[in-house]
Every structure is written in structure tokens, then in C-alpha cells.
Amino acid sequence: MGLVLTLKPQERIILGGAVVRNNGAYSTQLMIETHTPILRCPDILPESETPCSRIYMAIELLYIQPEQREETMKLYLALTREVLAAASSMAPLLQEVSRLVIAGEYYKALQKMKRLLRYEKNLLESITTAT
């Protein structure tokens, strides 16, 4: 049994390494019959330059570009070390994410990263308001 995706008009997804858009005026359904990485629009991080957003992007790349795993994993590890050095309070959440990354559960890791992104946003806002 495959996965049925419904795409709204103009909605995009990443399917494997391809960006797919419903270019029509009506919703459409796709049946995905093989195992392939899929990222829906809400899971695709818009461009951002915060430390945690770069970690999120590295996990996205691990998920959708498995052929680049070794290089991307080095990037992921370097980015997590940088974040931990700057904000050790993120360690518990990063450990949860890292367990999922190491297990190859990239989609689940992305979902956990959303919590970390919210935490980072709150942390950055508190620093900004304190100054």
C-alpha cells in the first residue's frame, strides 16, 4: 500500500530530490508507491541563518540526499558542537535529535528540531530584550 498525498493548488513538496508543485487550480492527489523521502511545504524550512536553522537544513539534506550522507553528517556534527558550545541549555533537545539522526530517522528528527527552533527563537528574543 502506498502513501496518498493531497496537494492544494500551488502547493509544493520535495519528493526524493525533486520539487513537485501542483500547478493546477484544484487539489490533486498523488499516490507514492515506493519508499522515498518526502517533505511537505510546512516541513521545508524557509531560508534562515540561525545556528539551529542550519542544523535543521543539514538534517533536511541527510533526509533528501542520502548519497551525500558522509559529508552532510560531518556538517551536522560540527553545527551541533557549535550550538552546544554557545548554548549548553539546548543539550537535552539536541541529544533527542541526535539519537534520531544517528538512527536514520531524519523525518522524526526534523519534527523534534521544530521544538529546538522555537526554543532558540525564545532564547534570542530574551537576549535582545535584555540589552
Together in a domain, 37 and 52:
no
Together in a domain, 37 and 53:
no
Per-residue model confidence as pLDDT tens digits over 12-35: 888 887 888 999 999 999 999 988
Together in a domain, 68 and 109:
yes
Q: Are 24 and 7 in contact (CB under 8 A)?
A: no
CB atoms within 10 A of CB 20: 15
- Give the residue numbers spanning the domain of 34: 3-42
Together in a domain, 68 and 112:
yes
**Phi first, then psi: what are they for 41, rounded to 5°?**
-50, -45
Per-residue model confidence as pLDDT tens digits over 34-68: 888 888 877 777 667 889 999 999 999 999 888 99
Together in a domain, 77 and 35:
no
Domain count for the chain: 2
Together in a domain, 58 and 113:
yes
Together in a domain, 52 and 100:
yes
Mean pLDDT, the chain, rounded, equals: 89
Per-residue model confidence as pLDDT tens digits over 57-105: 999 999 988 899 999 999 999 999 999 998 899 999 999 999 999 999 9
